[in-house]
Every structure is written in structure tokens, then in C-alpha cells.
Chain A
């Protein structure tokens, strides 16, 4: 295979994940960065790096600058990762126009699936079960009237969603008419800032569903294969925190029907490359199509662990013109995998980000069945411009219990000091009976408020070190005067 040059239009752990796959295939990885990422690890691991600008965020989101950087580095292809420009059809189009391969589906597919309203229309046509929803709301007062009418028909609560949103961003739950009137302009402003598209729409709320999604991979020769399900029900304000493969649903027939629907949905959308079809499953085991994410997901790691298939490597190969090297019957789900997103947040302070803090100690767990996808290192200061994800911990085990035990061990062995993290909160989840029994849906965190109760763990050595620091700083022991 001839050596290609591939630019990774992203930062953080996903940039590193992609760079690794590029390098494993023998290609050259080009990183990009904004000034706050001067010390970021993805620049060091990549073979080359191009500076985009001072940012923050604006340059990672700037299509022109990204294309310029790609041309400067003379790359053959661009992998967008997730977030930033990943689901921006304009970017895919700009790549095509510049003669650079965009690693993902075509601009048209991103366009139609990214517009949630168009996507719904396609899926309805293909006979995929749907949650009732509106078209894009008209601008101004008219849109608010349309929204009120829909909500009156289906009842509150309703979901207010950014048409161009995804990954839990640009979604808010609306409880009553007063909030609806207040939130629509705010949602528009947020969507405009985040996705440069301020269209929003409403959906009926399926109460306390399970969030089940299917990993799809398709080549341009018409082969579409699913890699099984993931359960992403444990979320905080629609941000996924814990992801599990396969979904913890006992009814294998239901899981098969969901996977079949996912394949059908992606074929209807003429989907290529890797994508995710998301469904809601209600308490009566009805499932509804929610959306297709046209990118690699944060949680793709759990699917990789249970199938043994390297999704990013497959993405690269497909984009560079190969056909799928495996068929549906080659895909075997072995064991269970759980991913936890370790964020620099203080769960006890409403998950406030701990930006600006320096990681003073970073000691990660390892051993059998453990995978880490991170980008922090000891001495790294968390910039306040980006999201708070530090590292993804993914564990794999033969049985569910083994997997949970392994996860608990890893969380206990994980030492990150400096910023507060979600680790102690996750330890409570792992020790929770309902979690262990697989009994959870999207209301899990609301219905288990005690998970937030934990003591900040501080080792004896660190406690004593703290006193020594005081004695050193104050020039005498302030407690012994």
C-alpha cells in the first residue's frame, strides 16, 4: 500500500486515537492545533503538526483554515473525528472540492441526516418506527406558536432539539409552556454558536427510555454491516457518561430487530463509512428511531472491544477505496465492554468543569482487558477552552460480572490529582445494585441521587504532605505554636 498523508481535524483523545490508526496502517499523520493546545499530546504523537490560529475553538471550527492547513501539508485525506467539523456537510463538501478524501459519509448524506427533520422523513419512508416530532420551527413568533401547538397535542414534557446538533448537545427538555417560550430563543442562540445553524425542532418525550444505538459500517459497494448494540442510557443532561456493549437487554430477538432496523435505516440513507443509528427503547420494549450520527462516536471503543474490529482503521481503509473485509456473519460479539468517560469535573458541584487546573499526579490502571484512550499527562494543565474529557476507560470481560469487577478495580487504581474528576462518582455507580443488575435507563442518575455522595479520597501520605507543605510555607507548624 502506498504511503498516504492524512490530516486529523481534531484534538484531544480522538485525535490521538485516529493518529494511532493512521500510523498503524503505515501512513503519515498530520495534527492541527490552536494556541491553547501548544502542549497537547496529539501534536507530539503525530508525524507533523500544523498550527491553525489562536482559537480557542474558532479555528478548529474554521473550514477555510482547515482546508488551508491540509493543502499546506499536502494531505490525501482528512479524518474529522467527532465534534467540531465532523458533522458539518460544508466541511465534507469543501474537502471534496479541494480534492481531499473526507473520511466519512458523503456531504449529501451528512446534510440530509444532519438535518434531523430530513432524516425523519427518510426514515419514515423506510418504515422505521419514529417518535412524533415537528418540522424545523419557523423563525420568530411563528415558530413558538408551532411549538405550542405540538406540545399541546402530545403533552409536556417535550424535547427541544437543534436540527444540526448531536452527541447530546443542543438538546433541552421542556416541562411547560412558559419554559418553552423562554428556551426556544436560547436554544437557537446556542445552536447558532455551536453548529452555525440555528434551526430547532420539537419531539415528544419518551419517558425514561433506554438509549440503545447500533454501530454501522458500510462500503461504497453496497455492503452494510452492523457491529451490534451499545447501551448509552446513563447520561447526565443528555451527555453520555457510561457506555456498554452489547446493550443490557435480555430479549435477544429485540436486539436483532433493532440491528436489522439500523441496517435498513442506513441503507435507506445510502450511508457509507462508519455511523451510528440511535434508538430509544421504552419500558414496553418498543423502539423508536432517534437519529443517525455520521461520525465515529466517543463510545466506539466498547464495540471494538467486543467485536475485535478496529473501527477507525476500517474507516481509513474504506475511505481509501477498500471494500469491507468482513461480512455480517463474521461479526461475533464476545463478552461485555464498559466505557466510562473520566472528566475533569466536580460531580458534587453540579459537574462544574475543573478547567485551569494542573494534573499533578496521573497514574493509570492497566492489565488484562483494560484500554485507555486519553491525552492527559502529569503536569498537563487543562485548558478552559475545550471540553472536560480527560481519558476514556474501557474494560472488557468475558461475563458482565467480570467486566464490572474489572471496572471497579481500574477506578480504584486510577490516580488523578489536581483537578477533581468523575472517578469517585463512577465508583459509586459501579457499586450500585441497580447498575450491577443492568437495571438502568436514562432516568438513572435522577432516580439514584445518592450516587453523588462520596468522600474525597485522600491518602495518608498526601494528608501528611499537605501539613508539611503548610509548615514549609508558613515557616513553622501553624498548629503547634
Chain B
């Protein structure tokens, strides 16, 4: 029984897999987090689980990719590269796996060749296994990433996305596998990507068998979701028919839309004399013992609706989109329309639009279209830009059939044929000027970015800059456990929070009282490492209509002064008002004198005109931004 460890050559890994007596397991922690916890499981938690997960002997740990790179910087405030670096330190032997959306990588738009190259090169320093997919199963969309992964010397795992329906035959999928192998050569793993958890065990078993019949040497990695509660059945069928690697995750965190529990997979397949190679069951149990105590902190991010959803076989939403769909329905107040959307409109639109694969970004297009079709009561009357692009073939050709003409006409109007002829087809994406982007980023940050920062920026420009600024301001916050970082409802008075910072220093923070001051500001008292600190929160802007307590910046005060609206530039006492109402003044004329800490400072007019309002008097104490004098330019 041979464990596969990080650092082995691709040939060695493939040799072991091809001659395996049994099967291997990928722990899809990332997909679990994305499907059942809105992608919020923190690095802190993954670091807690790192030691037993390393001991568990997985083929790989899927820990990055998909939407997680974006959520890392947007919500979890962790650098996606630092995350991998820290996990790698604690898990030297386990291969890390990612999920990558072909030409979209980890973002939402197609990237040019040179960005793909840069991104793959940087992530390849940490990521050993690259699962790549395209929601149209259009192989050319993935080709650039295929090449870069192979160039980086990493294990390439192209996917065939799986769905159900009359067109989704074994012949079709076997042919797709052939198209992939034509491009990649045989030294790959092949993923059957069952992101919805569709089909029965029997169906999956047949598909694996059909592929294996045609390509006996091909290593198949089955990926599924447990949305209907039956993924263990599909996994079992896949392994019995020749799949070599399967996906599951830690039972302490398994939910309804993500992967099923690893231990149940092992126990079930044991009965069929199929052994999980290299796996230490004790370590798998220990992982969940560690994780169990963390789950309560993530409760808010679990699905509002508990229980499996066997109707996924009807609406086909991928596991990763289930939680967010219900969340949108609650927020958009259309929860009562959900049965109609999920069980009538979605399957109908799916068939009308070509019955391709409901996974990012296709699943979003289907979902948005179905929601607006139902809520607006005007089917295809409010098409999204993405739907238009889809119909124009920007994502690739339709795999089975093109939607009917009436949909085109509804979406594009009577000239739809001209539009399709003129704008149809995949756009050529030109390389961007990476050095220019690097300069832009340097300008926005005020320092030279690292290569990794540049890559993160190229995926999500504004969110990346916000994240880097966040880190400057708040430090590396991954060190905070979920009980602190995603705590809801604030902390208890006297609660003691302890943690070790990124640089290894222990900190103790004791929560003190919160107090409103006279001007409406709130003071939060914390005892930070035995030193009291006060954090002042300015009063929230008043309700609309009420007078707003606006805090002006130095620049704003200066700008106002340049147009004659003279404000106090600092806290001071007015010791002289040198002008009268109605007086004509010139540029440079003294308007008043302010005094702060024994220093008199004259305030001069920056415009020529007439004094129309004096809002202060001698002796008055003024705060920065307070109105002093108004001069109307003459």
C-alpha cells in the first residue's frame, strides 16, 4: 500500500495510481467550505486541522481555487498565497489541489494568456494538482491553462462536467475525454465533475465503466456533491467500476450540499473489499474531533434550510450555489416563489437554453434568468449581459443544440440575426501590459507590490487593493479564531481574548466597557496586552433629513476655503474677527485670527468678494470643520 506524497514526479504518481490496489481520497475541504459554509471556513480552522489531516494520508487536500481565492481576500481577509505557505509548513507531505475555471481562473472574466501564465506560475509554487473545468465542456477554453500547468510540471486534472438528460450519453462523454487526451496527452488525471450530485449510483457506475472500457490506463477522479444524500452510493459505484480517486471531507463539518463524510466512504467500500490506500482512519477521526468544537462559530454561514435536497435532480443547481440561492431568496423576499423557480422554471430554462452544465458561471446565468423570468412575469424580457454573451457564443459553442429563435428574438429584438452574425463567437483576448498593471498597483499601494500581490490584483483588482490596505491597517487577521473574527453580537464585558500574532507574539485583549460620549461618539475600551486603549467610533451619520454631523478632512477644509467657505482648520479659540458682514475682501485679506496653545494664526481669504456670513464670534472655541466666515466671490 503506497501513500502518494508531495514532491513525487508526475510519472511516479501516475505509476502508483495506475497500479493501485484500492482507491485514494481527496479531502475537498475547500468545496465543503464553499457549499455548506458560504466559503467562510477560516485558515485558522484549517491550521488547527493541519496536523491530523497531514497524518491522514490523503491523495490531496483541495484547499484553494473556485470562489475561495476571492472570498479569501474579500471576506476572510487572508492572503491566498500566505494561506498556502502556512499550510504547506504544517503539511509537508500532502499534495494541495485547486479548482480552476479554465480561462476564468479564479475570477469571473476570461483572462489573456499572459495573465493565465503568471497566475499558474505563482500558484504552482504551492499547488500540486490542478483540476480544470469549463461549464460548456469546450476544451479550447481550457487549453491555455492545460499548457501552463504542464509547463509548471504539476499534475493536470482536466474535468468533464457531468449532467443528466437525453443528450448526456456515455458516447458523448467518452468522446469529450478523447478530445481532452488529444490536447493533453495521457499523463493526466481525469475528473468526472458532478458538481450537482446528479444521477444515480448506477448512472455514474456506467459512465466510469464506459470511459475505462475505452481508456483503461486513464486514472479517473470522481468528484460529487451530497445534495440528495446519495453521493456515497455514487462514489461506491464509481470505485467499483474503476475510479481511482474520490472526493469527500471531514464529518465534523459535512452538511447538505458539499461532499459526504470520508469515514462513511471508507466503511462502505470496506464491505466491497476496496481499501483506501495510505489512509490512517485514526487520523481522520482525530481531525473531526479537533474540528467539532469549531463548527458552532460558523453557524451563521450554514444554509438557512436544513436537510438534503433530492429535488436537485430536477433543478440541477450545483452544491456550491445552493446556500447562496436560498440566501438571495430570503434577502430578496421571494422565498415563496422558490418552488416555482427551482422545480418549474429552472428545468424549463435549462432545456430551452441548451441543457449544458449548471456550474459557474453557467449556473449563475441559469439562476438569474430563472429568477427574473418568474419575478418579472416576462420570460427572457430582462436578459442579463451574461445571458446575451452566452447566446452570442462568447462562452463557446452550444454542445447539443442552439436555443430556439424566439429566445434570440426576445433577447436581442427583431435584428437578432444581424447581431449574432456580427458579434457572435468567442472573442480573442489580447495580452495585457503586465508591467503597466504592476505600475498601476504600485501607485495605488504606494509601494512595490510582490509578484503574488500582482497576481491577486489581476484576478480581482479593486478587492485586492482593499485587502492590501486592510492588512496595512489591521495586520494579519488569520491568527484570530472564528470565535473572534466572525463573532456576532460583540464580546462580553470582561471577556478575555488570547491569540498569537503572525510574528509569534502572544496577545491578551480584555474587553472593557463601551461608552457614549457627549458628542455621540462611542468609546470602546480594550485592555491590550495590559495597557488600556480607547477606540473612538464617530457617531453614525444621522438619519436622512436630520442634520448631518460631517467630519471634514484637511483637504476638504482646504478645498472649501478656496471657494470662500472658510472652516476652522484645527481646534482653536477665535481671538479676533477682522471683517464685518458685507465687507469687501481681497485675496490674502485677513478674515480672523485663531489661537491654539498660545499661537495666533491669521486666517486669510483665498477669494476676492463679499463677506456674506460670519458664523463665529470672538472667544468661541471651534472644532476642525466648523463654519467661520463665508465669502461670496465677486
Interface residues of A (CB under 8 A from B): 169, 182, 186, 189-190, 194, 349, 352-353, 355-356, 358, 360-361, 363, 378-379, 384, 386-388, 417-418, 460-473, 475-477, 479-481
Chief secondary structure at chain B's binding surface = mixed
Q: List 5 A-B contacts (CB under 8 A).
A: A194-B598, A360-B531, A464-B509, A471-B490, A473-B535
CB neighbours of B593 from chain A (8 A): 186
With A469-B535, A473-B490 known, 16 other A-B pairs at CB within 8 A are A186-B593, A349-B570, A418-B534, A464-B474, A466-B474, A466-B535, A467-B475, A468-B497, A470-B537, A471-B485, A472-B511, A473-B537, A476-B487, A479-B77, A480-B77, A481-B75
CB of B385 within 8 Å of the partner chain:
no
Is B526 an interface position by the 8 A CB rule? yes
B479 cross-chain contacts in A, Cβ below 8 A: 464
1/0 contact string of B477-503 vs chain A (CB within 8 Å): 101100011111111000001010111
Residues of B within 8 A of A461 (CB): 501, 505, 507, 528-529
A384 smallest CB distance to B (angstroms): 7
Does B313 sit at the interface, judged by CB under 8 A? no
Check if A480 sits within 8 Å of B514, measured CB to CB: no
Known: A468-B484, A468-B497. A475 touches B489 (CB 8 A): yes
Contact B484 A384 (CB under 8 A): no
When distances are taken between beta carbons in the complex, the residues of chain B under 8 Å from A467 are 474-475, 477, 480
CB neighbours (8 Å) of A481 from chain B are: 75
From residue A463, how far is it (CB to closest CB) to chain B in Å? 4
| Contact count band on B | 35 or more
Query: Hey, what's the 0/1 contact readout for B268-298 against A, CB within 8 Å counting as 1?
Result: 0000000000000000000000000000000
Contacts of B488 in A (CB 8 A): 475-476
Q: Does chain A have a CB within 8 A of B172? A: no
Q: A460-B475, A466-B535 are in contact. Are A352 and B596 (CB under 8 A)?
A: yes
Instruction: Give min CB distance, B496 to chain A, whole Å.
Output: 12
Known: A353-B596, A384-B597, A464-B479. A469 touches B532 (CB 8 A): no
Q: Which residue of chain B has its CB nearest to the CB of A57?
A: B598
Distance to closest chain A CB from B298 (angstroms): 11
Q: With a CB–CB cut-off of 8 A, which chain B residues contact A379?
A: 532
Given contacts A349-B554, A361-B533, A471-B485, A464 and B526 within 8 Å (CB-CB): no
Q: What sequence of 0s and 1s flags, for each residue 535-550 of chain B, a beta carbon within 8 Å of any chain A beta carbon?
A: 1010000000000000
Rounded to whole Å, the gap between the CB of A19 and the closest CB of chain B is 24
Name the residue of chain A whose CB is nearest to the CB of B499.
Answer: A464
Q: Is B476 an interface residue (CB 8 A)?
A: yes
Q: How far is the CA of A395 from the CA of B316 in the complex (A)?
A: 75
B374 within 8 A of A: no
In the complex, whether B524 has a CB less than 8 A from a CB of chain A is yes
Name the B residues within 8 Å of A417 (CB-CB). 531, 533
Partner of B534, one of A353, A358, A472: A358
Asked if A361 contacts B524 (CB within 8 A), the reply is: no
The reply to whether B597 and A360 contact each other, CB–CB distance below 8 Å, is no
Question: How far apart sit A209 and B352, CA to CA, in the bound complex (Å)?
Answer: 88
Expressed in whole angstroms, the Cα–Cα distance for A190 and B534 within the complex equals: 37
User: Please, which residues of chain A bring their CB within 8 A of the CB of B537?
Assistant: 469-470, 473
Asked whether B473 is an interface residue with its Cβ less than 8 Å from the other chain, the reply is yes
Quick check: is B40 within 8 A (CB to CB) of the other chain? yes
Q: How far is the CA of A349 from the CA of B602 in the complex (A)?
A: 17
What chain B residues lie within 8 Å of A356 (beta carbons)?
Answer: 571
A131–chain B nearest beta-carbon distance, Å: 25
- Closest residue of chain A to B495, judged by CB? A472
Q: Which residues of B contact A386 (CB under 8 A)?
A: 597
Do B514 and A472 touch across chains, with their CB atoms under 8 A apart?
Answer: yes
> What separation, in Å, do the CA atoms of A363 and B535 have in the docked complex?
19
Shortest beta-carbon distance, A124 to chain B, in Å? Answer: 32
Say whether B533 contacts A462, CB under 8 Å. Answer: yes
- B76 contacts A by Cβ under 8 Å: yes
> What chain B residues lie within 8 Å of A463 (beta carbons)?
473-475
Bound form: Cα–Cα A367–B473 in Å: 33
B522 sits at the interface (CB 8 A): yes
The complex places the Cα of A384 from the Cα of B596 at a distance, in Å, of 8
CB distance from A237 to the nearest CB of B (A): 8
For residue B590, which residues in chain A have a CB less than 8 angstroms away from its CB? 182
With most chain B CB atoms within 10 A of its CB, the pick from A417, A465, A470 is A465
Would you call A361 and B503 a contact (CB within 8 A)? no
Q: Are B477 and A469 in contact (CB under 8 A)?
A: no
Is B334 part of the binding interface, using a Cβ–Cβ cutoff of 8 Å? no
In the bound complex, residues from chain B placing their C-beta under 8 Å from that of A472 are: 490-491, 511, 514, 524, 526
CA A472 to CA B534, docked complex, whole Å: 13
B328 at the interface (CB under 8 A from A): no
A136 → B minimal CB distance (Å)? 21
Q: Are B473 and A378 in contact (CB under 8 A)?
A: no
**A386: nearest residue on chain B (CB-CB)?**
B597
A169 touches B509 (CB 8 A): no
Interface status of B600 (Cβ within 8 A of chain A): yes
Interface pair B522/A473, CB less than 8 Å apart: yes
B33 to chain A, nearest CB (A): 14
Tell me whether B597 and A353 are in contact (CB under 8 A).
Answer: yes
Chain B nearest Cβ from A441, distance in angstroms = 24
Measured CB to CB, the closest approach of chain B to A86, in angstroms, equals 15
Residue B308 at the chain A interface, CB threshold 8 Å:
no
Contact B489 A476 (CB under 8 A): yes
B514 A473 Cβ-Cβ under 8 A: yes
Instruction: Give the residue name and chain of the B residue nearest to A194 (CB).
Output: B598
- In the complex, B470 has a CB within 8 A of chain A: yes
CA distance A467 to B524 in the complex (A): 12
Task: Report which residue of A169, A418, A475, A477 has the largest number of chain B beta carbons within 10 angstroms of its beta carbon.
Answer: A477
CA distance A363 to B531 in the complex (A): 9
Quick one: given A460-B476, A480-B75, are A361 and B484 in contact (CB under 8 Å)?
Answer: no
- Point out the residue from A360, A460, A475 that lies within 8 Å of B505, measured CB to CB: A460
Chain A hits for B598, CB < 8 A: 169, 194, 387
Query: When chains A and B are docked, how far (Å) is the Cα of A353 from the Cα of B470?
Result: 29
A475 neighbours in B (Cβ, 8 Å): 488-490
Q: Which residue of A lies closest to B554 (CB)?
A: A349
The 5 tightest CB contacts between A and B, nearest first, are: A463-B475, A469-B535, A467-B474, A361-B531, A353-B597
A-chain residues with CB within 8 Å of residue B503 when the two chains form the complex: 460
Residues of B within 8 A of A182 (CB): 590
Which residues of the other chain, B, contact A464 by a CB distance below 8 angstroms? 474-475, 477, 479-480, 499, 501, 507, 509
* Contacts known (A464-B475, A472-B491); A477 close to B531, Cβ less than 8 A: no
Residue among B77, B535, B596 having the largest count of chain A Cβ atoms under 10 Å: B535
A residues within 8 A CB of B509? 464-465, 468
Please, how many angstroms separate the alpha-carbon atoms of A476 and B600 in the complex?
45
Chain A CB count within 10 A is highest, among B480, B528, B590, for B528
Closest B residue to A469 using CB positions: B535
Which residues of B have CB within 8 Å of A480?
Answer: 40, 75-77, 485-486
- Return A460 CB to nearest CB of chain B, in Å: 5
**Shortest Cβ distance from residue B486 to the other chain A in the assembled complex, whole angstroms:** 5
B residues less than 8 Å from A471 (CB atoms): 484-485, 487, 490-491
Given contacts A353-B597, A473-B524, contact A360 B486 (CB under 8 A): no
Neighbour of B533 across the interface among A194, A465, A470, CB < 8 A: A465
* B470, B479, B485, B590: residue with the most chain A Cβ atoms closer than 10 Å: B485
C-alpha spacing A105/B400, complex, angstroms: 106
| CB <8 Å contact, A469 and B474 | no
A361 x B597 contact (CB < 8 A): no
**Bound complex: CA A201 to CA B602 (Å):** 21
> Are A477 and B487 interface neighbours, CB within 8 A?
yes
Minimum C-beta distance from B517 to chain A (A) = 11
Do residues B600 and A186 form an inter-chain contact, with CB atoms below 8 A?
yes
Interface centre among A379, A468, A473 (most CB of B within 10 A): A468
Q: Which residues of A contact B511 (CB under 8 A)?
A: 472
Report chain A residues within 8 Å CB of B497: 468
Q: Please name all residues of chain A whose beta carbon is closer than 8 Å to the beta carbon of B40 when the two chains form the complex.
A: 480
Cα–Cα distance between A462 and B531 once the two chains are bound (Å):
10
Q: Could you mark each residue 440-479 of chain B with 1 if its beta carbon is under 8 Å from any beta carbon of chain A, else 0? A: 0000000000000000000000000000001001111101
Q: Select the residue from B480, B485, B598 with max chain A CB neighbours within 10 A.
A: B598
